């Protein structure tokens, strides 16, 4: 029985997609004593992993080495037939029309259908709209002739990774689990109970899918609200950061959210649109979510407008101006560039004739982004020379590695989108907030 194999650690685990979600999961299962195969179509990742190297900044190579012989990375998907549990951690991006791109999930399901066997457990972790797991994905896998809930187990358990979070890790973040049938739920819960401190079973895969969307829509809506207030308070000559600090002294009924140059990462900028897209099928408007998306999507335009106006005050045009971007990653102290607002801001600055360079201690190069094919840049050394030759320095990601006093000393003009300088007690007439 599968649950018995999981409990005695003889179940063989296969993780499809070895990125920011899949690789940490592999490490946790190896730590718990399981034999794990990692599947990915990117042969370069497999080569690095087989050499004991990491391609994700916040995942140290030592953690991969600690997996030892328990971890076998591969591009050979025929080995899925040998797995007892298969966990899918593939991307779910948006296409150019901001509609769900389900190609990675559906292609993976078709591959699984070739090798699925009786008694296996298949779990989807990729964020998606409600109905994906028990709808399209189930039907694709059932083309094998096997039936979900009868011949194989099917479940959804949304990833909750927060790269480089110092307080929570893969094993300590509670895990929501929903099964296609009660038996499917029991198998999936047993799997995650083996590596996660607390699992949270729910009544269906659709409930689990919806819970993930709610988590990220909640954040997106609240960030949009504070971004809108930021733009209003700027006009009113009120410091939004001071307002937030004052408001959060209330010990109940308020949670602080912070403005920024736009949303980044694979979840918050994307997930709300999965639900708005699905809602059309039910002829229900999602005006609140769509408005939040509109505000957050507009933030890079607001930042570039601020740069334009600040340069204009200094009798300098954006066209031909040298702009130094500090921070390419979507948040501090990681190397993840997915959906980073820096990408859109660089595109806009370049379109307006700006001469753009960037520095990011975690991102040595920036290229290969599907929506920004023209961006092909390398991080420049952050020294006195580059700061002084730049007409304006635009801080987009407040990495801890930056020497903010050094930057303030040598830069001509600084636009701070994260309130990073003032939080460190650095105030100067050359620093502007955006």
Q: Which residues of 36-60 are buried (b: 16+ CB within 10 A; e: fewer)?
A: bbbbbbeeebbebbeeeebbbbbbe
Catalytic residue selected from 30, 67, 184, 267: 267
Give 237's DSSP letter: T
* Nearest Cα to Cα of residue 126 among 212, 14, 12: 212
The rounded radius of gyration (Å) of the Cα atoms in the chain is 23
| Partner residues linked to 156 by β-bridges | 124, 178
Q: Under a CB-based contact definition with an 8 Å cutoff, are residues 41 and 69 in contact?
A: no
The reply to whether 30 belongs to the active site is no
* Nearest Cα to Cα of residue 6 among 78, 112, 87, 114: 87
- Rounded distance, CA 136 to CA 278, Å? 13
Q: Under a CB-based contact definition with an 8 Å cutoff, are residues 93 and 267 in contact?
A: no
Q: Under a CB-based contact definition with an 8 Å cutoff, are residues 422 and 241 in contact?
A: yes
Element (H, E) at 220: helix 205-235
Q: Under a CB-based contact definition with an 8 Å cutoff, are residues 217 and 289 in contact?
A: yes
Q: Cite the active site residues.
A: 267
């Amino acid at each position: 029985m599968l649950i018995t194999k999981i409990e005695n650690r003889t179940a063989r685990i296969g993780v499809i997609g070895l990125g920011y979600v899949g690789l940490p999961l592999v490490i946790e299962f190896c730590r718990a004593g399981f034999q794990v195969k990692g599947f990915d179509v990117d042969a370069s990742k497999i080569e690095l992993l087989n050499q004991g190297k990491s391609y994700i900044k916040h995942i140290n190579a030592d953690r991969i080495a600690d997996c030892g012989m328990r971890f076998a990375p591969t591009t050979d998907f025929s080995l899925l037939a040998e797995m007892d549990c298969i966990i899918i951690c593939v991307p779910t991006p948006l296409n150019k029309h901001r509609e769900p791109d389900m190609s990675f999930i559906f292609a993976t399901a078709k591959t699984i259908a070739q090798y699925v066997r009786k008694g296996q457990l298949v779990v989807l972790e990729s964020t998606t709209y409600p109905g994906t797991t028990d709808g399209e994905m189930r039907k694709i896998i059932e083309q094998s002739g096997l039936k979900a809930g009868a011949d194989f187990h099917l479940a959804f358990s949304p990833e909750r990774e927060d790269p480089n979070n110092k307080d929570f890790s893969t094993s300590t973040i509670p895990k929501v689990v929903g099964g296609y049938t009660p038996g499917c739920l029991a198998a999936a819960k047993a799997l995650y109970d083996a590596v996660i401190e607390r699992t949270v079973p729910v009544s269906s895969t659709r409930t689990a899918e919806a819970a993930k969307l709610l988590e990220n829509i909640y954040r997106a809506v609240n960030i949009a609200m504070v971004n809108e207030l930021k733009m209003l308070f700027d006009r009113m000559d009120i410091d939004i950061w001071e307002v937030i600090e004052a408001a959060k002294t209330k010990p109940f009924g308020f949670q602080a959210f912070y403005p920024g140059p736009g949303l980044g990462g694979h979840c918050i900028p994307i997930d709300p649109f999965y639900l708005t897209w699905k809602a059309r099928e039910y002829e229900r408007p999602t005006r609140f979510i769509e408005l939040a998306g509109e505000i957050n999507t507009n933030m890079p335009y607001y930042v570039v407008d601020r740069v334009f106006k600040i340069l204009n005050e200094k009798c300098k045009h954006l066209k031909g101006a040298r702009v130094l971007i500090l921070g390419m990653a979507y948040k501090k102290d990681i190397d993840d560039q997915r959906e980073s607002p820096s990408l859109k801001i660089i595109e806009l600055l370049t379109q307006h004739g700006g001469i753009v360079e960037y520095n990011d201690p975690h991102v040595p190069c920036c290229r290969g982004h599907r929506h920004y094919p023209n961006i092909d840049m390398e991080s420049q050394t952050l020294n006195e020379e580059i700061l002084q030759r730049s007409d304006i320095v635009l801080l987009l990601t407040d990495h801890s590695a930056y020497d903010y006093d050094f930057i303030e000393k040598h830069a001509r003009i600084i636009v701070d989108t994260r309130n990073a300088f003032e939080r460190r007690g650095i105030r100067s007439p050359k620093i502007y907030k955006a």
